Amino acid sequence: MSRAENLAPAEAAAEAVKAYLRQHKECIVEDVELLALLPLERFGENANVADFQRFVIEKLIAENTALKAARDGLRFPSARADLMREGVRKLVLDLIDARGAEQAIAVATGAASALKADAVALGVESEAPLRTGPQGMSLLPLGLSDDLIERDAAGALIKGGAHLALFAASEKLNVVAVYRLDLGPHMPPVLYAVGARDAGRFDDSGETREMIYFVRALERTIRAWLEQQTT
């Protein structure tokens, strides 16, 4: 057989293409444009090239459908984040309108719907027995914030259930986002928890950012009111 370099340029190019396809047969399956160039009449009436073409085209259609579904799945969380953003804006305005720490806490404990959650809880660590604390805050056992959240972290995601100190046993929650509020050097640790029945509820980073934004606004609002009371 003649070597490629001794052939005419067109023949050499054809041999190179053939050699490449022999080594990379998957290219024929993956490239629908290349497959469509096959002249079916060259293979006779009983050839199965048409079936092969149909198989590959159907395969590509299925892959295209999967890609569209993935794309739409990316759009959906973004749309949900946009909806939450509107709720968070209203919550922040309510915090601005609050006439004291107690009203700000009431905004936080009533924020479940706006945060697209099933339950929320706000608590402060205390040596007192677990009960409803002053100003609508639950009293939490000492050290709970360190048990749930790493020392240098502001929050954590708890999957598989809800801590009973934050939510009653009747709350059927499968995931909880819990955040630590810094209300000042002389204040005990405070936790704000947002719970949902859907285990994947807080997987959307856009929604998570909106929730953190509200938590930080809540933190600053309560802290400002507490500082005002001590001056």
CATH no. for residue 94?
3.30.450.40
User: Is 182 within the bounds of a domain?
Assistant: yes
Structural domain harbouring 95: 78-230
The number of domains in the chain is 2
* pLDDT per residue as tens, the chain (231 positions): 444 456 677 777 777 777 776 776 666 656 656 666 655 555 555 555 555 556 556 666 666 666 666 565 545 555 666 777 888 899 999 998 988 888 888 999 999 999 888 999 998 888 765 444 445 678 888 888 888 888 888 888 888 777 777 887 667 888 899 999 988 888 888 999 999 988 887 877 778 888 899 999 999 988 888 777 766
Q: Are residues 108 and 213 in the same domain?
A: yes
Do 111 and 40 reside in the same domain of the chain? no
Distance, CA of 140 to CA of 175 (rounded, Å): 19
Q: Is residue 72 part of a domain?
A: no
β 175-181/155-159 pair status: antiparallel
- The helix or strand, by DSSP H or E, that contains position 226, with its residue range, turns out to be helix 205-230
Burial state string for 20-55 with b = 16 or more CB within 10 A and e = fewer than 16: eeeeeeeeeeeeeeebeeeeeeeeeeeeeeeeeeee
Token digits of residue 80: 């949900």
In terms of domains, do 214 and 142 share one?
yes
